[in-house]
Amino acid sequence: MIEYTMLHHVSIIVQDLDAAKRFYREVLCLKEIERPPFDFAGAWFGIGDGQQLHLIVHRGETQRHGGIDTRDGHLALRVSSYKKTREWLDRCGVPYEARPHAKAGFPQIYVLDPDRNVVELNADVLDE
């Protein structure tokens, strides 16, 4: 049997590393952390409790071209306030799809990063 202690990291593909770093640092407010000197470009961000997001520059054919598709593969981050998160995204001018009464049982917000990766921001409760 495997016993898990936490989710360590999620890696996503990006093409414009500078734009992706700005989005995750300035819009999603993640802190960039040290990354080993790999032979390919990328960046690491701390999410909390030792969990990480790894951005990997790759010119492969994995990029999507459409809008927000909530059934597509995505990164989901729990936020402390649904209301404050929506207000922040509005101030940043970031388009999103809000689902305050999602069938999942918790409020959700979906955004696209600059490379069109889907990011879900969800809260434990609806505080609007």
What is the side-by-side strand order in the sheet with 108-112?
74-79, 118-123, 108-112, 97-99
Please name which of 128, 90, 126 lies closest in space to residue 108, comparing C-alpha atoms: 126
Q: What is the CATH number of the domain that holds 117?
A: 3.10.180.10
**Amino acid occupying residue 28:** L
Confidence of residue 84 (pLDDT cuts 50, 70, 90): very high
54 and 9 Cβ atoms separated by less than 8 Å: yes
pLDDT digits (tens, 9 = 90+) for 23-79: 999 999 999 999 999 999 999 999 989 999 999 998 766 666 788 877 777 899 999
In a domain, 2, yes or no: no
Q: What is the pLDDT, as a whole number, of residue 46?
A: 97
Q: What is the pLDDT, as a whole number, of residue 79?
A: 94
Lowest mean pLDDT across 4-18, 38-52, 97-111: 4-18
Q: Which domain holds residue 67?
A: 9-123
Q: If DSSP codes are grouped into helix, strand and coil, which group holds residue 72?
A: coil
In a domain, 108, yes or no: yes
In a domain, 97, yes or no: yes
Write the DSSP assignment of 104-123 as a string of letters.
TSS-EEEEE-TT--EEEEEE
